[in-house]
Amino acid sequence: MTEAARALSGALEGGVHVLPVRVYYEDTDAGGIVYHANYLRWAERARTEMMRLLGTEHRSMAETEGTIFAVRRCSVEFDRPARLDDLLRVRSRILAVRGATIDIEQIVESQDRDMDAAPAGRGAQVRISLTLCCLNRDGRPVRLPAAVGRALEALAAAAEGGRD
């Protein structure tokens, strides 16, 4: 992966994937507030880039392993609205890796200078909790490919080690 491509993928910081996002006009409603579904789009993009940094691109996983991820459960809490031109970050943390599923917490928060000193998740715009399920080509649940499971478990362990 080139440096330019890596920069677009965000970064892994202490077991947490961080993806910067700018709020554009197209992301907002007539009042300049982010439309609620866009938070889910940004979260999906962050999960995709996290997997890319772990060396597991979705397309290659589908082609070589015959598996894909699907959202099994998703819960969203909207704390504060984001607005036009805000600079945000999506923080993705693996909570658990089990046979065919992955539990993930994603927080969309401000990147304003005031917020940089705050602990992760404080001042969050949105908190997303979800479970992904690994499916085969027939749409049936299957165990995560071994290499993917190991990479996600290592990320989860790194995140747990970095928590207070």
Q: Which residues are catalytic?
A: 29
Q: Is 14 left (phi over 0), alpha (psi -120 to 50) or beta?
A: left
Tally the C-alpha atoms within 13 A of residue 136's C-alpha that lie toward its C-beta.
5
- Between CA 140 and CA 135 the distance in angstroms is 5
Q: Each residue of 18-27: b (16+ CB within 10 Å) or e?
A: bbebebeeeb
Phi, psi dihedrals of residue 151, rounded to the nearest 5°: -65, -40
The answer to whether 81 touches 33, Cβ cutoff 8 Å, is yes
